[in-house]
Structure 1
Amino acid sequence: MNVLRAERIKLFSTRAPWWCAALSVLAPIGFTALFFGLSGAEVTANVANTQLAASAGRTVALVLAVLAATSDANWGTLKLTFLAVPARVPALLAKGAVVGSLCALLGLAAGTGSWGLAQLVRPDADLALHTAADWRLVFGQAITFALTGIFGVGVGLLLRSTAFSLALALAWTQLVEGLVLLIPRIGEDVYQWMPFYAAAQFAGGDFTRTTLKLSAPLGPWAYLAYFAAICAALFAAGVYTANRRDA
């Protein structure tokens, strides 16, 4: 418990995580308000559309997680942590648990907040959670945000450099996954196995599949398991390397 408490204190000791936490919730909610407020009758007001900006929130949560993992190495607190907890793995696991838990709360706030605000903006629309898929889209944000946090911590532990880690993470989410579609013949097939595309198939926030009318090879829960496996593998690799090299 002391290790978890220490990681929580370190996480919130600077302003950056606070700003990232606020933006990861406010960005999806703000987009949803604009979307439902400005869209006309030709746009269907349904539960899925309340989560169209979920990917933006996940991207900010990824930034938060990377900063949480790399700030220790940059400020020298990682060495102090390992002096206090000679068994490094528990300390690293605690960092993943704290960041993942925070991201889960942010995902829950973003998902339910977007859905709730959409009902206020469009009170005439039927946005009730009628089906299991509707519940998954709204409350599943907590799961995908938490896994995104684990993903970010893994990247940060592997690379340690804040600039390099952020550049790689943002380039992947904002550029590389989209550019895969440009690969001749196999682009669409490869794209459907990208990690954050998989996250979007579980909890929404993806325009591309609808626009291109892609036929996903997996169902939502299978995509979640696939995304979770990637995040877990990356986090495990980060813990392994951090445990073996000098602080």
Structure 2
Amino acid sequence: MGVVAAERIKLTSTRSPWWCAALVIVLGLGIGILMAVLSNDTEATQGTDPFILSATTATGGVSGFGVMIVMIMAALTVTTEYRFGVIRTTFQAIPNRAKVISVKAAVVAVVAAVVVAIAAFGAFFLAKGIAGSGPTIRMGLDEATWRVLYGVVLYAALAAVLAVAVGALLRQTAAAIALVVLWPLVIEQLFLLFGDIGKDIYVWLPFANINHFLSAHGSTTADFHWGPWGGLVYFVVFTAIVFAISLGLVNKRDA
């Protein structure tokens, strides 16, 4: 509990986590409202490919930009300590390095889950209230909708743990932030440009799988070998492997 208290104080005593949390909520709610307004646009909701307002589109700002900000915040909790040498003092006080990193990841994951839950549920119900009803409004509280809502929260917690692992592996702020931002937004998307071969590889990528889980009606980007729940399991296993590797290297390398 002493380690938990120490990590909680570190996280809440600096301004950047508070700014990150506020930005996640503002962006999440703002994009949710924008999607609701767009759903009332006659031009957008007509034609061969109409805009459909669903839980996935209403919370898109949270699952996209919000989780990305959470990952940056999580990576910074590790790289900042390495940058200023605070991690050495921490490891001297608590020689069990694996415990330090694990508790740090757990604390950040809880904070990320709470912030993203506020943003995701707030964005959904705001969009639902603004949009009303209609043929292109699919905001019913069915099983698929609930899976998207609590799935975004699970995704944020797992992404925070993954980002802490990346920060512990790289130990440099610029490199860690570049990786957690570019991997889901650019690197994985590039595989879709290489036809069927790229799509065959794409279904084995971690963020593609978690997005498959978050899609209310299943992914249409590629043909996955498993359903949405399989995508969640895949992302959990991937996160656990990367985190285990980071713990091993933290124990072997000098602080």
Asked whether the two chains share a fold, i.e. TM above 0.5, the reply is yes
2:228 aligned residue: 220
- After TM superposition, where is structure 1 displaced by more than 4 Å over at least 4 residues in a row? none
Count of residues paired in the alignment: 243
Deviations 1:47-93 (A, max 9, x none): 33322332221111111111112111112111111111112221111
Maintained 8 Å contact 1:68/1:153: yes
Maintained 8 Å contact 1:51/1:204: no
Maintained 8 Å contact 1:55/1:200: no
2:48 aligned residue: none
Matched ranges for 1:87-236 at <5 A:
87-124=96-133, 125=137, 127-129=139-141, 131-204=142-215, 209-210=219-220, 212=221, 214-236=222-244
2:3 aligned residue: 3
Maintained 8 Å contact 1:154/1:235: yes
Instruction: From the superposition, tell whether residues 71 and 50 of structure 1 become closer, same or farther in structure 2 (CA, over 3 Å).
Output: same
Query: Which deviates more, 220-229 or 53-62?
Result: 53-62
Which of 232, 246, 252 lines up with 1:238 in the alignment? 246
1:16 aligns with 2:28: no
- Distance in 2, Cα, partners of 1:98 & 1:56: 21
- Tell me the secondary structure at the aligned position of residue 185 of structure 1: helix
Tell me the TM-score normalized by structure 2. 0.88
- Distance in 2, Cα, partners of 1:205 & 1:100: 24
Query: Which deviates more, 35-44 or 60-69?
Result: 35-44
Instruction: From the superposition, tell whether residues 55 and 204 of structure 1 become closer, same or farther in structure 2 (CA, over 3 Å).
Output: farther
2:82 aligned residue: 73
Query: Which deviates more, 147-156 or 118-127?
Result: 118-127
- Tell me the secondary structure at the aligned position of residue 175 of structure 1: helix
- Distance in 2, Cα, partners of 1:55 & 1:232: 22
- Tell me the secondary structure at the aligned position of residue 53 of structure 2: coil
- Distance in 2, Cα, partners of 1:94 & 1:72: 15
- Distance in 2, Cα, partners of 1:229 & 1:24: 26
1:55 aligns with 2:69: no
Percent of pairs with identical residues:
35
- Tell me the secondary structure at the aligned position of residue 246 of structure 1: coil
Maintained 8 Å contact 2:55/2:216: no
Unaligned runs of 5+ in 2: 46-50
Maintained 8 Å contact 1:107/1:141: yes
- Tell me the secondary structure at the aligned position of residue 54 of structure 2: coil
Unaligned runs of 5+ in 1: none
